[in-house]
Chains A and B, each alone.
Chain A
C-alpha cells in the first residue's frame, strides 16, 4: 500500500474574456475572413495588433488589413500532439510573416512530415468552416502551391464587433495527501478520527499536519479523538453558488472534538438551522459503512447530543 493517498481533481472554468477594442478588432476581422494587423509608431505592421505601442505606450489605433498568404520564418515539428492542440496527428508550429506584415504570427501548419516544411516556404490561411471571432477561425496554415492564391473565406457569421471570447480552461491534477493526512483519511475509512500531538506545544491537531504550524516541530504521536465535540462558531449558508455540493440552507460549523486543540469544519444536521448555537454539543453521524471511502465525507454530518451546552469559557480561546 502506498504511504500516501492521492486522487484526481479537475479544475475547469469557462472564462469570459473582454477583448478590448484592439484585440476585438483583430478577432472581428478573423470572423469576417480578413487578417488585421496594427501599425506601430515606428511603422511596423504587427499581427495580431499590439494593444499598446511598445515605444510611445499609446493605444494602437491604426489598423491594416494584410494578406492571408505569407512566408514561414521559423518552425518546429510536433511529433506527438497532446490534448487540445490544433491537430491529433503530427504537425508543425510555424512563425508566419503574412504579406503586408513585418513580424510573424504563430500558428499550426498542416503538413504530413517535417520534410515538407522549410523556412522561406509560402503558406496560406486555411479558414475554419465556421468563424466566430476567435484565433481558431484560422484553422491552420497550409502550403501554397505555385500559382495558388489566397483561400476563399466562407461568409461571416455576424456583423457586430467582437468584444469577448470564452476561453475554457481545464486543468487535471493528481491531488496528493501528505502522509499525515493519509493517516487521517485511512482512519476515517475505519470509522476513526485520527489526530497528532505536537511534541513541543502538546497541541492535538486534527487533521494532523506534517509539522506543527506554531513551532514547526514534526508531529508523530498519533491520537484517536472522541467523536463528540462542541460547536465553537458557525454560519448558515443561504447562498447558492456554482459548483456547490450541498443544497442551501445548511449550517457550516467549526466542531472542536473532545481532546483536540483545533476545530474541524463540518455540516450540522438533525436540528433546525436557527436552533444551532455556539457551545452546542454534537456527535459524528457516519454514513453506512458500505459507503465509506478515504474521506471526511464518511462522516455525513454532526448532530446534537442533547447534552447541556458547553460553557463559553471552555472554548472561547478557539474563536
Chain B
C-alpha cells in the first residue's frame, strides 16, 4: 500500500500579540484549535489523534507541557505526540501529523503548535552563559547576523535589500487581521532609519516576540470529500544537519538544499518559480528571504536578492512570499512554522482573505530552526495529487 492522500481542511490561528495575558497556554491553544475545527466542520470528538509542537521548554519554563495540556487539547483517550525541532517545530509537527494520515494509521488528525513568549524572555533563554565559555552569544539575532553579513558579501547584494523585505512583509501584515504587527506606513526608508541591533540587522528587520498558536486539521481522502476546499498535500520533507561541522555552509545550508530538491521531486515540480503560486517562507530576519529563495531553488545562488529587489516577491510578483506578513510580523516561535504551513494551505483553498493571491493553486510552506540545521517544508495544492 502506497502513501494515502491527505488534505488540510481546517486552519485556525490566534490573534498574535506581544502579551496574551487574557489566556493561559491551554486557552491559547484552544483558541487556534476551536477555529480550525469550525473551519473543518468537525469537533474534538471526531479527532483520532493529536500532535502538538512548541519550541524549547525554557521559553515558558514548563517541562513537557504536553502532560498538563493533554486534557485541554482533547487528547484524553487518544494518542498525543509532542514534536520538537527548535524554530522549525511548527512545520515538522504538521509533517508528523500528516504522516499519520498518509500512513493510513489515522483518518482525522489535529495538530497544534504554540508559544507564549510573554511568560519568559527568549533572548535570555537562548543566551544562558555556560561555564568555561566566552559569553558573546546574543540570542537568535546575534547568532544569525554574522551569516547575513556573509550572504551580503558573497552575493554582493545592495545593502537595502533587507529593508525591502521588511517593508513588504509589514505592509502585507496590514491585510492579515491575525498578525501581531500592524505598523502602518512602513517604508524602505523607515526600515533603514530604524536602530541597528545586531549590525547588519536593524530593529525593523527583526521579528517581534509574540504569543500565539496555530492549529490544522489534516484528514484522509474520504473525510476530505466533505470539505468544499481541501488543501491537498503534494509533498513533505524534513532534513537536519550538524550545527558545527567544519566548513558548513551557514548561508546556503546543504540540508535545506537537499530538502528542497526532494520536495520538488515529490511534488512533481520542475520549475519552482513558475509552478508555485505563493510561498510562506520562514524569514525571522529580513535577509533570510533572499537567502532562502536561493536555498529553495527559486533563484540561482547569489541571485535571490534580485527577485526581492525587482518586487517579484510582492503579492503581485512572480513568486509572492509571505503575503500573511510572515514571521517578521508575527513570531510565536513554536507556532511560526505551522503558520507558514497553514497560510500556504489557506492560499490554495482560496481562503486567505485580503492577502489571497488570485488563483493560487500550489503553495509552499517552509520552516527552519536551530542554527539553520533543521528544515521542514511542504507543498500543498488545490488539486488532489496524481502521484
For residue A314, give the distance in angstroms from its CB to the closest CB of chain B: 13
- CB of A234, distance to nearest CB on chain B (Å): 5
B71–A265 touching, CB < 8 Å:
no
Contact A18 B24, beta carbon cutoff 8 Å: yes
Interface residues of A in 201-259 (CB under 8 A from B): 201, 203-205, 209, 213-214, 232-239, 241-246, 250, 252-254
Asked if A19 and B24 sit within 8 Å, CB to CB, the answer is yes
Residues of A within 8 A of B74 (CB): 52, 57
A318 in the interface (beta carbon within 8 A): yes
Q: Are A11 and B58 in contact (CB under 8 A)?
A: yes
Residue A41 at the B interface, CB < 8 A? no
Surface stretch bound by A, among B138-146, B257-265, B311-319, B328-336:
B138-146
Q: How large is the interface on B (under 10, 10 to 19, 20 to 34, 35 or more residues)?
A: 35 or more
Q: Is the CB of A243 within 8 A of B129?
A: yes
Main secondary structure on chain A at its contact with chain B? mixed
Q: By the criterion CB–CB under 8 Å, are A233 and B121 in contact?
A: no
Partner of B242, one of A17, A164, A213, A266: A213
Q: Contacts A239-B141, A244-B138, A245-B129 known; A163 to B21 CB distance under 8 Å?
A: yes
Which partner residue on chain A sits nearest B241 by CB separation?
Answer: A213
Tell me if B's interface is mostly helix, strand, loop or mixed. loop
Nearest chain B CB to A179's CB is how many angstroms away? 13
- Do B142 and A235 touch across chains, with their CB atoms under 8 A apart? yes
Contact mask for chain B residues 125-152; partner A; CB cutoff 8 A; 1 contact, 0 none: 1011111111111110110011111100
Asked, given contacts A51-B72, A57-B44, whether A319 binds B249 with beta carbons under 8 Å apart, the answer is yes
Contact assessment for A13 and B138 in the assembled complex, using a CB-CB cutoff below 8 Å: no
A317 CA to B254 CA in the complex, in Å?
A: 13
B146 close to A234 (CB less than 8 A): yes
Residues of B within 8 A of A266 (CB): 134, 136
Interface 9-residue window, one of B85-93, B198-206, B294-302: B198-206
Is A78's beta carbon under 8 Å from chain B?
no
> Complex Cα distance A287/B385, Å?
64
Contact A265 B134 (CB under 8 A): yes
Q: Find B149's partner among A237, A278, A299 (CB 8 Å cutoff).
A: A278
List residues of chain A with CB within 8 A of the CB of B242.
Answer: 213-214
- The answer to whether B274 has its CB under 8 Å from any CB of chain A is no
Whether A199 sits at the interface, judged by CB under 8 Å, is no
Cβ-closest chain A residue relative to B195: A238
CB within 8 Å for A237 and B142 given contacts A17-B119, A20-B26, A246-B136: yes
- Knowing A9-B130, A261-B247 touch, does A242 contact B121 (C-beta < 8 A)? yes
Chain A residues positioned under 8 Å from B67 (CB to CB):
none
- Please pick, from A18, A52, A204, A242, the residue contacting B124 in the complex, using a CB distance under 8 A: A242
**Contact indicator per residue, chain B 274-315, by CB within 8 Å of chain A (1) or not (0):** 000000000000000000000000000000000000000000
Stretch of A85-93, A127-135, A289-297 with 4 or more beta carbons under 8 angstroms from chain B:
A289-297
Q: Is the CB of B150 within 8 A of A18?
A: no
Asked whether B197 lies within 8 Å of A238 as measured between CB atoms, the reply is yes
Answer whether A175 and B116 are a contact pair too, CB < 8 Å, given A237-B142, A254-B146: no
Docked complex Cα distance between A266 and B74 (Å): 48
B residues sitting closer than 8 Å to A (CB atoms) are 19-27, 30, 43-45, 58, 60-61, 71-72, 74, 76, 116, 118-121, 123-125, 127-139, 141-142, 145-150, 153-154, 195-201, 242-247, 249-251
Can you give 28 contacting A-B residue pairs, CB < 8 Å?
A: A5-B132, A7-B131, A11-B128, A18-B22, A18-B24, A20-B23, A52-B30, A52-B71, A164-B21, A169-B61, A201-B246, A214-B246, A235-B141, A235-B145, A235-B199, A236-B198, A238-B196, A238-B197, A239-B138, A239-B198, A241-B121, A241-B127, A242-B123, A261-B247, A262-B246, A267-B136, A318-B247, A319-B154
* Top 7 A-B pairs, shortest CB-CB distance: A20-B24, A235-B145, A236-B199, A7-B131, A319-B150, A245-B135, A213-B242
